[in-house]
Structure 1
Amino acid sequence: MNAKNLPYTSGRAWSHGLCGCCDQPGTCFKAWCCPCVTFAQNKRRLEYLDRQGIPDPEHGGEFVSGDCWLHTFLTCCFNAGWVLQIGTRNSIRSRYSIRGDPFADCCTVFWCNPCSLTQESRELELEETSLGWSRQK
């Protein structure tokens, strides 16, 4: 069960709706202004949970990282930073047995980029909370 008491069973919905991004204004604002930072932090948090089984003590790490620079480069040069986000969204969906498919992930990150980043961050935060992490740390 995650912090919202939702089971990790196959075919469940996201814990927070795509349009619920305004419920976490700080993350939503960061996703709108600096999607590269939000993407890189989400990716690092997910990878840390996968490798260590505990929340990342730095909650996504530094403000700017290699993943952030790559996202920025692809966005500035090809308007394609969102392509990197498809894999991370798919990995989060798989980790929590959330229904969906790669095509839906592609459409979501292309058309609703900041909202998708916020939704992914909130899903990760639920696992981190259930493992003892809190936003105040």
Structure 2
Amino acid sequence: MYKNTRPAPSASFNVAHPPTQGIPVSPHHLHIPNASSQTWSTGLFNCCDDPGNCCITCWCPCITFGQIAEIADRGITSCGVSGTLYGLMMLILGGSRCYSCFYRSKLRSQYNLPESPCPDFLVHLCCEGCALCQEYRELKARGFDMPIGWIGNMEKQTPGVTTLPPSMGGGMAR
């Protein structure tokens, strides 16, 4: 009889293990359950619950957004790429609220969170910084170590197994 000797993953998300050890785990092997309707772990205006993140978001929201987007995308896009796109949209278009609103909706659907206190677009339109701080705190409350990104969090969950981002296949060949 097979006995599972691996430590149980945390309750925040479960990793479906491949049949043999040493095989890379991609984000597509992950199952993040949608429990019945849940509430946000903190309120929209509780920015000072995490003063460090509040200051970073105030002065450079592209960093906070990049960290949120990398986790919400499950490692498909990096923090740097998402943060840069956010920053460019701020410079060129004068705002990036539609882009960040999309990730709030994505995060809500992944964790079955209510659309509160008002629709996602209005939250980001009126309180962009507060919305980013709340999303950051939500992921942190669900067990993510935000500065290490998606791959770092997956490696933390499955010690000894290397996590690789999904391959796009193809590439250049001669």
Same fold (TM over 0.5): yes
**Residue 26 (structure 1) aligned with residue 52 (structure 2):** yes
One of 76, 90, 97 as aligned partner of 1:75: 90
Find 2:130's aligned residue among 103, 109, 115: 115
Q: CA deviation at 1:97?
A: 0.8
Query: Which of 69, 76, 100 lines up with 1:43 in the alignment?
Result: 69
Correspondence for 1:16 among 20, 42, 64: 42
Which has the higher Rg, Structure 1 or Structure 2?
2
Q: CA deviation at 1:12?
A: 2.7
Gaps of 5+ in 2: 1-10, 13-33, 145-152, 157-174
Q: Which has the higher contact order (CA 8 A, sep 6+)?
A: 1
**AA paired with 2:139?**
L
TM-score for both structures, normalised by structure 1: 0.72
Question: Per-residue deviation at 1:10?
Answer: 3.5
The two structures have a TM-score, normalised by structure 2, of 0.58
Percentage of identical aligned residues: 27
How far residue 9 of structure 1 moved from its aligned partner, in angstroms, is: 3.6
Structure-1 residue corresponding to 2:141 = 126
Q: What is the deviation of 1:19?
A: 0.8
The count of residues paired between Structure 1 and Structure 2 equals: 116
Is residue 21–residue 119 contact of structure 1 (8 Å, CA) maintained in 2?
Answer: yes
Structure 1 residues 90-120: Cα deviation after superposition (integer angstroms, max 9, x where no partner): 111111111118x711111111111111110
- Counterpart AA for 1:26: G
Ranges of 4+ aligned residues in structure 1 off by more than 3 Å: 8-11
Shift of 1:82: 1.7
Kindly provide the amino acid, as one letter, of the partner of residue 68 in structure 1.
Answer: G
State whether residues 10 and 98 of structure 1, in contact with CA within 8 Å, keep that contact through their aligned partners in structure 2: no
RMSD after superposition: 2.7
User: Post-superposition shift, 1:46?
Assistant: 2.3
CA distance in 1, matches of 2:84, 2:139: 22
User: Greater helix share, 1 or 2?
Assistant: 1
Q: What's the offset of the Cα at 1:126?
A: 1.8
Deviations 1:77-100 (A, max 9, x none): 211212111111011111111111
